Structure 1
Amino acid sequence: MSRRSMIGEALAAGPAEPIVVADEAPPAEPRTNFTSKRLDAFGEAARMVKKPSIRLKPSECSIWPGNARDYAMLSEVRVRSLIDSLQAENGNRIPVVVRRSPKGAEHPYELITGTRRHWAVSWLNANHYPDIELVAIIEDIDDEAAFRLADIENREREDISDLERGLNYKAAVDAYYDGVQAKMADRVKLSKSSLARYIGLTEIPQSIISAFNSPMDLHVRYGDKLLPLVRNPASLAKMEEAAVHIANEQSFRQSGDEEPIAGAEVVARLVKATTTSSRGRSQKTLIEAGGTRIGQVDQDRGRGLTLTLTPSELSTDEILEALRPLIDNAKINRKQGR
């Protein structure tokens, strides 16, 4: 058996299976728990890696920016199950991968894979478990190889959004593959169409993304419906107008502990907005009481009035008093056929 790192062999061979987007997915297989998935992904590596592991503190590592995961988006809620697992096992069973930082760098190591494990151990260190360390393997690899290694691991992850993957792939194709998607697709063993669809998500502006409760809800399959409309200035303007209303409703639901608007419904409403004629489009009016904005009313000839109220300190009578003239005005307009 060669003493060469299995990580190197994995990079040479590429991932065993390509990413399959949702509408191309094979029949579902029984789900396994987190540890089983990680061991499945790295089982062969664990058998063949000969390099000894080291133990270090998360504070000794900077985070390599080429990884798909947005470190700033991690939170105790998103990482809770991993935190519990590391606490029970007194550390990470599957090593993270680091490389040595250049001389003069602030941290001696740079983390290539294992962002969630790094975050979880950091959290544990700051919350009554200062002795738990991060188990790591040191690899000597360049940025392009680091990207492919991180991509191999991240394809096993279910909590990286399709948008995060798209942004990561777009940056990588420009940085390592001369801007040629076909070259990158061949190198990482991913179909050209799948790669193009992930990168396509990066064309969706933040004004549209804001309509989703979370970027995790923006799946790659939704890009097939949204991108043609985003690329048309007229339909984009209509979607942006609808997105503002949807985002306000998402915020209102969140403040009331209600279920958010699902991603599929958000897409349906955005698409529908582009086919609504100007005759049927709603007119929006802010609702104010005592100089404070308390909500919004949408007046639509086809549906009547839609009220969106924001929780406030005002009494019920004060809110109703603010709504009365808006309702009366709507009645007058309806009688006059406007």
Structure 2
Amino acid sequence: MARKQSDYLTSLLSDDQSVDPEMTAITDGISRALERPRGTTLLNRENALARVAKGEVRQVTQLLLDPARVRVWPGNARTYAHLDADNCRELIDSIVAEGGQKVPAVVRRIEDDPDHDYEVVAGTRRHWSIAWLRAHDYPDMQFLAQVAQLDDEAAFRLADLENRARADVSDLERACNYLAALSTHYNDHQSRMAERLKVSKSWLSKMLKVATIPDMVVGAFASPAEISLRSGYALAHALDDHANASAIAGMARVIAGEQAQRRIDGIPPFPPADVLRRLLDAPRLSSGEDKPDLFSFSNKYGRTVLSLQSINRQGATIRIHAGSGAEPDHLVEALRTLLDHLEATGRGLSR
């Protein structure tokens, strides 16, 4: 029995590119037009095609590419060097089981590189996995990509949207990516960046703060992925004090050496909560104090806004300092930072 015309047109516009690598897939409006009830008329289908011709419906080109001819855009938060067969195993197995990549990556064409024709904007893990499969028994596997015309700022926003849904992109990776983008795309205007990314200013401010943690301190953790927004913000805030920073850096070197030895001995690394606690306790230990680790929050002029006086099982004593010039919103931010600090160090008041 001959297929209906609508079925035939649908097959032509499907995402399956196995017949023609440079086939154009027409999405959105066409798909909706074809997904109407069985009473859809030829006139309706002709109207859908006419909308494409007028530019009302976007055409999206999908290609099957050799991953070796595609480079990774450095503006993406994901660290390509951290990818391996273990953390990409689920995706690799899925590609093999389905006979190829089904969800296209997003790439853009480049002209200034004789070794590459495109660069990946979104889909770094897919690119790595296809390249790995080609080197491991699947030499004919190809990289499915959707070609888009994007400037760097639009590419950054697209990659960020995809990475927000990815649990394997760490807070620290995203924070460092945001810090780089702040000057590259937004002229150091945090408000403009928050507006473009559709995130709150306070959340973005915390992410940018986490990105200031030195590599030496990050090296104390078994993996950068272990630094969350909450713990990273508490650590970055503690590093603002120069005396604290010196003690924390010294402790980070000690922990990093211990972590390396544990890897050699085949012993699991220290849990991230233990590493964080040792780093935040370093200033107190280096000064010989045995009282609870106090916490203070200062404004940009160096004036103390809020400080933790004591904490025990009955509660915490917090002092709000007079004369700091802090507005109510700043006091709320200071209190939230203190609560994050207590939670990150295992002394949250909700316990």
Normalized against structure 1, the TM-score is what?
0.66
Aligned 8 A contact 2:108 2:120 in 1:
yes
2:201 matched to which residue of 1?
192
Q: CA deviation at 1:274?
A: 1.1
1:240 matched to which residue of 2?
249
The one of 66, 83, 87 equivalent to 1:74 is 83
The one of 223, 228, 234 equivalent to 1:219 is 228
Q: CA deviation at 1:49?
A: 7.0
1:161 matched to which residue of 2?
170
- Rounded to whole Å, the distance in 2 between the matches of 1:171 and 1:98 is 21
Q: CA deviation at 1:67?
A: 0.6
Equivalent AA in structure 2 for residue 145 of structure 1: A
Equivalent AA in structure 1 for residue 176 of structure 2: L
Seen in structure 2, the aligned counterparts of structure 1 residues 75 and 49 have a Cα distance that, compared at 3 Å, is farther
Q: Is 1:273 aligned with 2:287?
A: no
Q: CA deviation at 1:277?
A: 5.0
- Rounded to whole Å, the distance in 2 between the matches of 1:71 and 1:277 is 38
Q: CA deviation at 1:5?
A: 7.0
1:296 matched to which residue of 2?
none
Seen in structure 2, the aligned counterparts of structure 1 residues 52 and 278 have a Cα distance that, compared at 3 Å, is closer
Identical positions, percent: 41
- Rounded to whole Å, the distance in 1 between the matches of 2:26 and 2:150 is 13
Alignment of 1:78-227 (within 5 A): 78-102=87-111, 105-227=114-236
- Rounded to whole Å, the distance in 2 between the matches of 1:211 and 1:104 is 38
Relative contact order higher in (CA < 8 Å, ≥ 6 apart): 1
Q: CA deviation at 1:273?
A: 1.3
Give per-residue Cα distances to partners, 1:207-233, cap 9 Å, x unaligned.
211110110111111123212221111
Q: CA deviation at 1:239?
A: 1.0
> Secondary structure of the residue that 1:51 maps to in structure 2?
strand
Q: CA deviation at 1:105?
A: 4.0
1:230 matched to which residue of 2?
239
Q: CA deviation at 1:104?
A: 5.4
1:43 matched to which residue of 2?
none
Seen in structure 2, the aligned counterparts of structure 1 residues 148 and 75 have a Cα distance that, compared at 3 Å, is same
The root-mean-square deviation of aligned C-alpha atoms, in Å, is 2.1
Q: CA deviation at 1:238?
A: 1.0
- Rounded to whole Å, the distance in 1 between the matches of 2:102 and 2:114 is 28
Seen in structure 2, the aligned counterparts of structure 1 residues 62 and 234 have a Cα distance that, compared at 3 Å, is same
- Rounded to whole Å, the distance in 2 between the matches of 1:217 and 1:129 is 33
Q: Is 1:251 aligned with 2:260?
A: yes
Q: Which moved more, 1:80-89 or 1:245-254?
A: 245-254
Give per-residue Cα distances to partners, 1:261-318, cap 9 Å, x unaligned.
111111111111111254479xxxxxxxxxxxxxxxxxxxxxxxxxxxxxxxxxxxxx
Normalized against structure 2, the TM-score is what?
0.64
- Rounded to whole Å, the distance in 1 between the matches of 2:233 and 2:156 is 26
- Rounded to whole Å, the distance in 1 between the matches of 2:232 and 2:280 is 11
Q: CA deviation at 1:165?
A: 0.4
- Rounded to whole Å, the distance in 1 between the matches of 2:196 and 2:180 is 15
Q: CA deviation at 1:84?
A: 1.0
Aligned 8 A contact 2:210 2:233 in 1:
no
- Rounded to whole Å, the distance in 2 between the matches of 1:119 and 1:127 is 12
Give per-residue Cα distances to partners, 1:80-118, cap 9 Å, x unaligned.
111111111122111001111125543111111100000
- Rounded to whole Å, the distance in 2 between the matches of 1:268 and 1:183 is 35
Unaligned 5+ segments in structure 2 are 1-24, 29-56, 291-351
- Rounded to whole Å, the distance in 1 between the matches of 2:225 and 2:236 is 17
The one of 46, 49, 54 equivalent to 2:63 is 54
Equivalent AA in structure 2 for residue 127 of structure 1: H
Aligned 8 A contact 2:79 2:173 in 1:
yes
The one of 269, 272, 288 equivalent to 1:263 is 272
- Rounded to whole Å, the distance in 1 between the matches of 2:286 and 2:253 is 18
> Secondary structure of the residue that 1:144 maps to in structure 2?
helix
